[in-house]
């Protein structure tokens, strides 16, 4: 069961069209909502008149900030948003009002009848502008200008480290913002029973956080609100917090005792965003002649958009995880997140670690070249030891980094092919690491991060309840497989109920790659308790010691004599007779980790995954078109509980990383998203996506369930620098910003004064060491 590639338990509903996503839900008398959004990137609202909209035939309600005047925000200390703009709008697309009507067309018509008078304000739209224009302030809560958060952390004396170095490089990189673009547009349905209890079905990765925030803003006890997560059509970090439509739907249902649905258009999904931060990075690294790192100093500047979202965590994440891959004795990090008049950035797959990892891996490639080292061997040489502690106090346990490098080097035939590639083609390598769950909840508390209830009925059916949210990664199946494994039954005997705040114990949500590790451990704990009860009852019945029993194939039997035993359902009945109703809880709380400094709560994790990637690219000599031909990705997931699903996560991450490296970018003009559509924001098609070879490395982490770590996010991180490094190998010119477009390649070649195609370098020819003067 564990380690077996079983079909996901929700597969059959998904391949028959039976799975009901939020927008598929219909309730009797259901009304429909639409949202009026700001056309200005920055403006005061002078007047907001909803009288005409209210009077429009078919309109049932109009909701504005006057109805929901309570501030919220996903991070408790940076709450800077209102569901609907109170008196100022700060980005194009910011919700201003919601109309609920008998149908969507009527609601849409009524949006035009809302009269809003704006007084436009000057805007800031880039990191540089946000820094320079302290006179234009988005929020009066900032201490200085538009600096939402500033972080300065020192671990050891980096100046001493740079002084000891033989080579010090300082490079500047820019990582462009990208968005999640899940195929499902955000959607929710809310209803309210006559007794005043609200149910909100919403497409979210974090039902628990939505539960907290919606109840808070509506000023109702949390016990009166039930949040249910239907199947979610993709998230990637974009559905990790409540949105205006959630608040509006819940309020409408409460006021009118009538259901309502809000489904956003694709364009509105672009305005909701919360995606990858654009980050400017200045990275300084000192190395000895043999390549050993003496010190690293990283400065990051995050373009956060108009609101905080998860940005407080993001800015810390841009610094925290740089240290978990290589031996770094001294480290200094300065981070800064800035407000700009654009949709808020937030977490996207690889949250905050993707951008600096890109910078670091590109810089290491430059260092390897200067020192005449093979980039793959160099990474192995630098690799952190398993079961060690990083300079910033992160506890590393299992680490398959070296194995990952070996696997991609072997699979890509790196040693044989690198340096002998045809003109205009190249190979590049990069590695990375990622958390297996954040060590702290977003609101600090001492409660478990995940809880699971398992119950057994008299017929042998098993129910598994957990507050987690399956967004396609297969977390429901993971829970079922673990319980099935412990109880020796088939997946079909198990029903999994997740993401329902009335019925399921809290799980913090599908973010930071935490569910397999945390909910998996909780499920295992619950199932193990029940198994003990079953064994005890079965042992008494069979007259054998419980220690000799095992659970397999729907039976409880002697491990060394399968004939002596009884059916699972029979054992369940005996156990229920002996112990009462069969139900057990399990929960998981991460160990206390990390240092004592401010900010030590970000980056800690019970385990880290490791990944290596080799990319093969070709650059067209006439058009400078970049074609990524193949990606080899080896990922240390600890243990693959379901190998097919792990491969799927690696492949999906590789695809998404490829998109960010080559095609995707958020583009704004005068504060307006230039391309808010799936035609012009370029998601890779099946033709564009490279061939992806997913390789699994198993290190059997001693704290993970059956040794498992994460697989959902980490494999994205090395893809982008591997492609960037391969581009350098192909054209001998560097593009130090993403995405790597034909124009940037053209510019890089022009700057190097080297036209394509560059002749293939003779294999084994020494690269001169150009040690930069200190």
Partner 1 sequence: MPKQLMTFQVNGETREVAASPTHTLLEVLREELDLTGTKHGCELGHCGACTVLVDGEPVLSCLLLAVEAQDAAITTVEGLARDNNTLHPLQLAFAERGAAQCGYCTPGFLVSGVSLLTRTTDPSRDEIKDALSGNLCRCTGYTKIIEAVELAATRMRETQQPVPSSRSRRNRP
Partner 2 sequence: MMRLPKFEYRAARTVAEALEWMGEFSSAADKDPQAHAMLMAGGTDVLPNMKHRVFTPQVVVGLRGVAALRGIAYDPEHGLRLGAGVRLSELAASPIIRARYPALARAAEVISTPQLRQMGTLGGNLCLDTRCNYYNQSEFWRKARDYCLKRGSEICRVAPNGTGCYAVSSCDTAPVLIALGATARIASRAGDRILPIADLYHDDGIHPVRLHDGDVLTDLYVPSPPGDWRSTYEKYRVRGAFDFPIASVAAVARFDGAQCADVRLVLQGVATRPLPLPEVEALLRGQPWTPDLLDAAAELGYKAAHPMDNTAGTIALRRRIVRAYIRRALDALIAPSVIH
Note the residues at the interface with partner 2 (CB under 8 A): 23, 37, 39-40, 92, 104-105, 108, 263, 265-267, 620, 622-625, 663, 670, 672, 674-677, 679-680, 682, 684-688, 741-743, 746
Other beta carbons within 10 angstroms of residue 290's beta carbon come to: 10
Shortest Å, Cβ 85 to partner 2: 15
Shortest Å, Cβ 712 to partner 1: 10
Nearest CB to partner 1, comparing residues 367 and 722: 722
Residue 623: asked if its preceding bond is cis (omega within 30°), the reply is no
Give which of partner 2, partner 1, none residue 622 binds (C-beta under 5 to 8 Å, depending on kind): partner 2
Q: Is the dihedral of CA 640, 641, 644, 649 positive or negative?
A: negative
Burial class (CB in 10 A: 0-12, 13-18, 19+), 755: exposed
- Give kind and range of the element (H or E) at residue 332: strand 331-338
Query: What does the block give as tokens for 232?
Result: 């979610």
Shortest Å, Cβ 658 to partner 1: 8
Nearest CB to partner 2, comparing residues 105 and 553: 105
Nearest CB to partner 1, comparing residues 282 and 683: 683
E strand map for 193-303: 198-202, 225-228, 260-263, 279-287, 293-303
Shortest Å, Cβ 264 to partner 2: 10
Give which of partner 2, partner 1, none residue 8 binds (C-beta under 5 to 8 Å, depending on kind): partner 1
Nearest CB to partner 2, comparing residues 490 and 675: 675
Give which of partner 2, partner 1, none residue 303 binds (C-beta under 5 to 8 Å, depending on kind): none
The DSSP-derived string for 115-157 is EEEEEE-----SHHHHHH-TTS-S-TT-SSTTEEEEEEEEES-
Shortest Å, Cβ 306 to partner 2: 15
Residue 501 contacts residue 224 (beta carbons within 8 Å)? no
Shortest Å, Cβ 683 to partner 1: 5
Other beta carbons within 10 angstroms of residue 46's beta carbon come to: 10
Give which of partner 2, partner 1, none residue 14 binds (C-beta under 5 to 8 Å, depending on kind): partner 1
User: Which residues bind to partner 1, rule: CB under 8 A?
Assistant: 5, 7-8, 10-21, 23-24, 26, 180-185, 231-236, 265-266, 471-474, 644-645, 647-648, 651-656, 658, 677-679, 683, 685-687, 689, 692, 694
Nearest CB to partner 1, comparing residues 563 and 686: 686
Show the DSSP H helices in 580-718 as ranges: 643-662
Nearest CB to partner 2, comparing residues 256 and 266: 266
Give which of partner 2, partner 1, none residue 15 binds (C-beta under 5 to 8 Å, depending on kind): partner 1
Give which of partner 2, partner 1, none residue 67 binds (C-beta under 5 to 8 Å, depending on kind): none
Give which of partner 2, partner 1, none residue 355 binds (C-beta under 5 to 8 Å, depending on kind): none
Parallel/antiparallel/unpaired status of strands 279-287 and 260-263: unpaired
CA nearest neighbour of 318 among 287, 284, 357: 357
Beta-bridge partner residues of 539: none
Give which of partner 1, partner 2, none residue 536 binds (C-beta under 5 to 8 Å, depending on kind): none
Nearest CB to partner 2, comparing residues 118 and 201: 118
Nearest CB to partner 1, comparing residues 149 and 276: 276
**d(C-alpha 629, C-alpha 770), whole Å:** 32
Give which of partner 1, partner 2, none residue 65 binds (C-beta under 5 to 8 Å, depending on kind): none
Those residues with Cβ within 8 angstroms of residue 492's Cβ, 6 or more apart along the chain or in another chain: none
Shortest Å, Cβ 185 to partner 2: 8
Give which of partner 2, partner 1, none residue 743 binds (C-beta under 5 to 8 Å, depending on kind): partner 2
**d(C-alpha 639, C-alpha 700), whole Å:** 5
Those residues with Cβ within 8 angstroms of residue 594's Cβ, 6 or more apart along the chain or in another chain: 393, 394, 395, 439, 600, 601, 603, 604
Nearest CB to partner 2, comparing residues 123 and 498: 123
Instruction: Tell me if residue 242 falls in helix, strand or coil.
Output: coil
Shortest Å, Cβ 657 to partner 2: 17
**d(C-alpha 70, C-alpha 173), whole Å:** 39
Shortest Å, Cβ 653 to partner 2: 20
Angle, helices 719-731/742-752, rounded to nearest 10 degrees = 40
Shortest Å, Cβ 39 to partner 2: 3
Give which of partner 1, partner 2, none residue 487 binds (C-beta under 5 to 8 Å, depending on kind): none
SS (H, E, C) 463-527: EEEECCCCCCCCHHHHHHHHHHHHHCCCHHHEEEEECECCCCCCECCCCCCCHHHHHHHHHHHHH
Nearest CB to partner 2, comparing residues 524 and 673: 673
Those residues with Cβ within 8 angstroms of residue 99's Cβ, 6 or more apart along the chain or in another chain: 33, 34, 35, 36, 53, 59, 61, 62, 63, 107, 110, 111, 114
H and E: helices and strands count for the chain: 19, 30
**d(C-alpha 63, C-alpha 114), whole Å:** 11
**d(C-alpha 668, C-alpha 127), whole Å:** 13
Shortest Å, Cβ 239 to partner 1: 11
Give which of partner 1, partner 2, none residue 161 binds (C-beta under 5 to 8 Å, depending on kind): none
Nearest CB to partner 1, comparing residues 12 and 443: 12
Shortest Å, Cβ 307 to partner 2: 19
Shortest Å, Cβ 680 to partner 2: 6
Place of tokens 């005409």: 52
Nearest CB to partner 1, comparing residues 46 and 183: 183
Give which of partner 1, partner 2, none residue 472 binds (C-beta under 5 to 8 Å, depending on kind): partner 1
Nearest CB to partner 1, comparing residues 11 and 767: 11
């Amino acid at each position: 069961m564990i380690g077996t590639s079983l079909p996901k338990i929700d597969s059959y509903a998904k391949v028959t069209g039976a799975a009901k996503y939020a927008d598929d839900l219909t309730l009797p008398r259901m009304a429909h909502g639409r949202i009026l959004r700001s056309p200005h990137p920055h403006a005061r609202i002078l007047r907001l008149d909803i009288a005409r909209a209210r009077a429009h035939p078919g309109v049932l309600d109009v909701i504005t900030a006057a109805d929901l005047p309570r501030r919220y925000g996903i991070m408790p200390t940076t709450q800077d948003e209102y569901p609907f703009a109170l008196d100022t709008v700060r980005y194009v697309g910011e919700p201003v009002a919601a109309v609920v009507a008998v149908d969507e067309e009527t609601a849409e018509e009524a949006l035009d009848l809302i009269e809003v008078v704006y007084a436009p304000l000057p805007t800031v739209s880039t990191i540089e502008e946000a820094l320079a224009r302290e006179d234009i302030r988005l929020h009066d809560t900032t201490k200085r200008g538009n600096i939402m958060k500033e972080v300065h952390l020192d671990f050891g004396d980096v100046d001493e480290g740079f002084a000891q170095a033989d080579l010090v490089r300082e490079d500047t990189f820019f990582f462009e913002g990208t968005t999640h673009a899940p195929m499902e547009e955000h959607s929710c349905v809310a209803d309210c029973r006559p007794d005043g209890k609200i149910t909100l079905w919403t497409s979210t990765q974090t039902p628990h956080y939505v539960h907290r925030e919606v109840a808070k803003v509506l000023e109702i006890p949390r016990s009166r609100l039930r949040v249910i997560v239907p199947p979610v059509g993709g998230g990637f970090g974009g559905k990790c917090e409540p949105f205006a439509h959630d608040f509006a739907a819940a309020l409408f249902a409460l006021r009118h005792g009538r259901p309502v649905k809000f489904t956003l258009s694709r364009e509105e999904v672009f305005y909701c965003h919360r995606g990858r931060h654009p980050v400017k990075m200045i990275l300084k690294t000192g190395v000895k002649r043999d390549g050993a790192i003496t010190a690293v100093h990283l400065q990051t500047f995050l373009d956060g958009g108009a609101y905080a979202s998860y940005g407080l965590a993001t800015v810390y994440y841009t610094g925290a995880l740089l240290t978990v891959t290589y031996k770094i004795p001294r480290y200094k990090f300065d981070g800064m997140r800035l407000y700009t008049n654009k949709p808020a950035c937030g977490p996207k797959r690889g949250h905050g670690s993707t951008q600096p990892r890109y910078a670091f891996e590109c810089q290491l490639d430059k260092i390897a070249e200067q020192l005449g080292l093979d980039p793959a061997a160099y990474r192995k040489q630098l690799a952190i030891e398993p079961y060690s502690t990083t300079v910033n106090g992160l506890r590393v346990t299992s680490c398959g980094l070296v194995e990952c490098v070996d696997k991609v080097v072997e699979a890509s035939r790196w040693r044989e092919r690198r340096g002998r590639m045809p003109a205009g083609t190249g190979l590049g390598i990069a590695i990375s690491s990622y958390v297996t769950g954040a060590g702290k909840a977003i609101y600090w508390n001492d409660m478990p991060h995940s809880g699971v209830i398992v119950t057994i009925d008299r017929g042998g059916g098993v129910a598994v309840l957990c507050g987690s949210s399956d967004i396609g990664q297969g977390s429901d199946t993971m829970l079922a497989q673990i319980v099935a494994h412990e109880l020796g039954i088939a997946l079909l005997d198990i029903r999994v109920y997740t993401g329902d705040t009335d019925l399921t114990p809290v799980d913090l949500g599908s973010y930071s790659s935490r569910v397999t590790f945390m909910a998996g451990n909780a499920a295992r704990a619950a199932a193990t308790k029940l198994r003990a009860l079953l064994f005890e009852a079965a042992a008494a019945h069979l007259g054998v010691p419980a220690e000799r029993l095992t659970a397999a194939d729907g039976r409880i039997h002697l491990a060394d004599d399968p004939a002596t035993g009884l059916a699972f359902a029979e054992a369940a009945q005996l156990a229920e007779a002996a112990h009462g109703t069969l139900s057990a809880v399990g929960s998981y709380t991460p160990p206390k980790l990390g240092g004592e400094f401010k900010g030590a709560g970000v980056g800690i994790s019970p385990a880290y995954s490791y990944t290596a990637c080799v990319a093969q690219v070709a650059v067209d000599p006439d058009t400078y078109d970049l074609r990524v031909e193949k990606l080899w990705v080896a990922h240390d997931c600890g243990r693959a509980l379901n190998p097919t699903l792990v491969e799927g996560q690696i492949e999906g991450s590789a695809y998404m990383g490829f998109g960010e490296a080559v095609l995707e970018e958020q583009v704004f003009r005068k504060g307006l998203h230039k391309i808010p559509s799936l035609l012009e924001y370029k998601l890779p098609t099946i033709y564009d996506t490279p061939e992806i070879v997913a390789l699994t490395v198993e290190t059997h982490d001693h704290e993970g369930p059956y040794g498992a770590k994460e697989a959902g996010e980490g494999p994205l991180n090395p893809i982008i620098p591997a492609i960037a490094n391969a581009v350098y190998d192909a054209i001998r010119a560097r593009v130090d910003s993403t995405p790597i477009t034909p124009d940037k390649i053209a510019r890089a070649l022009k700057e190097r004064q080297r036209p394509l195609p560059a002749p293939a370098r003779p294999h084994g020819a020494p690269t001169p060491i150009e040690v930069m003067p200190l």
